[in-house]
Structure 1
Amino acid sequence: MDQLIQELNQANHITVLTGAGVSTASGIPDFRSSNGIWTEDESREYFMSNQYFHLDPNDFWKKYKDIFQLKLLRNYKPNEVHSFIHSLEEKGKKVAVITQNVDGLHQKAGSSNVIEYHGSLTTSTCPGCGASYDMDYINNSVVPRCERETCGTILKPDIVLFGDAITEHDRAEAIIDQTDLVLVLGTSLLVMPFNFLPEYAYSRKIPTALINREETPKDRLFHYVIHDDLISTLQQIEGQLT
């Protein structure tokens, strides 16, 4: 812990990789933990796939709204972890957040440089004309369609569905190239290719730190590993940052 605090104090550029464990304190389910939503019913991965969206977009939207509880999304607020990350910026550090989360809470907490690796629940886009629609519009329609008179295409959510291409990986690696420290918070590091990012940092000899309640298959890649509650650990750290 003392060595990690020293690294944080010395680092000017910090890249923070975040997963579902960062948002659970805000009430959002952890989809991939040992008790996560995806372990309850493997068919959900099929229903949340690009293939199923194109096969039956009407039923896709019904299941999508149910699984992700879109009506409740605006009730969720940033928690102490989001605030800690933003506080690093307030100390004058250059901070980039690369998140697996799709809830938009990092932005709500004030983080200014957020790469949403798996997209966002807060918007949807028309595959026909490219028009973008916000959460209010999405929630006001059972099956949201483009409202442009000449279009009317069923909208596609702006999250990365199973089978979609990851478009932010190269950008994430470019950010890591410029960093002094990679801090990984609240992720089991089971999902590819996101879990290649700590490997990339390790290969570039960049200091890496992991704080997660459970062990991960990638623990060996980190210079600092803390298996403990995320909020209480960060509160200890924050009190000793300069």
Structure 2
Amino acid sequence: MKKSALIVWGGWDGHQPEQVAEIFKGILEEENFQVEVSNSLESYGDKEKLRSLDLIVPHWTMGEIERKFVLNISEAVAAGVGLAGCHGGMCDSFRNNVDWQFMTGGNWVAHPGNDGVEYMVNIKHSSSPLLEGISDFKVVSEQYYLHYDPAVEVLATTRFPVFHGPHAANKAVDMPVVWTKRWGNGNVFYSSLGHQANIVSMPEVSQIMRRGFLWAAEGKKRAEELDAASCYGNVRTYTGMGDSQ
């Protein structure tokens, strides 16, 4: 039986959201997913449909979202639906919505030097085998500086500073590039790589996204084996208390 995925793209055109969505669609179809592609946030309005999915792939940079849509996604992911995305399409979405940032694991704050910075992506040894066999590689793109959740499991990093700026007065830091986290019974996957379609198409980057999609979509099976109802109820109660826009 095919797994099902929903890709929702939009927001700032500079990230080429439609082109990236098509690349993601191709990857998922190669993995035998049934894929729906939408360019409307209204796609998050049907909570029962979201809960029937195996994977949600957001690719929407900046903009505003109705709070009820974020709550619908949060409940679906907590019940086992995977959430996976990249770059500003997932962790620079809806800057005024802290519930979204809490669920996804972080948010973009800067890219010193803007596009065209050459930097290394360093694969980290961790408890996760997700990136096994992928070697460190060089990227010429935006280098994302993120504020991130200390609960995430970091699978790849990049070293700052590479480009001059006020941040360079601090000691060198290793910033996450790829991470995973749990949200209830759901798997959440993020990669900061993917400024435009040419970066997403890089062999290393597309392989990272492929593995992330497959891993995130495994949460549904685990949820069936656990008592999802109690976790789902707890998350719903918590997010209902927030003051998100």
More strand by share: 2
Q: What is the TM-score when the length of structure 2 is the normalising length? A: 0.30
Q: What is the TM-score when the length of structure 1 is the normalising length? A: 0.30
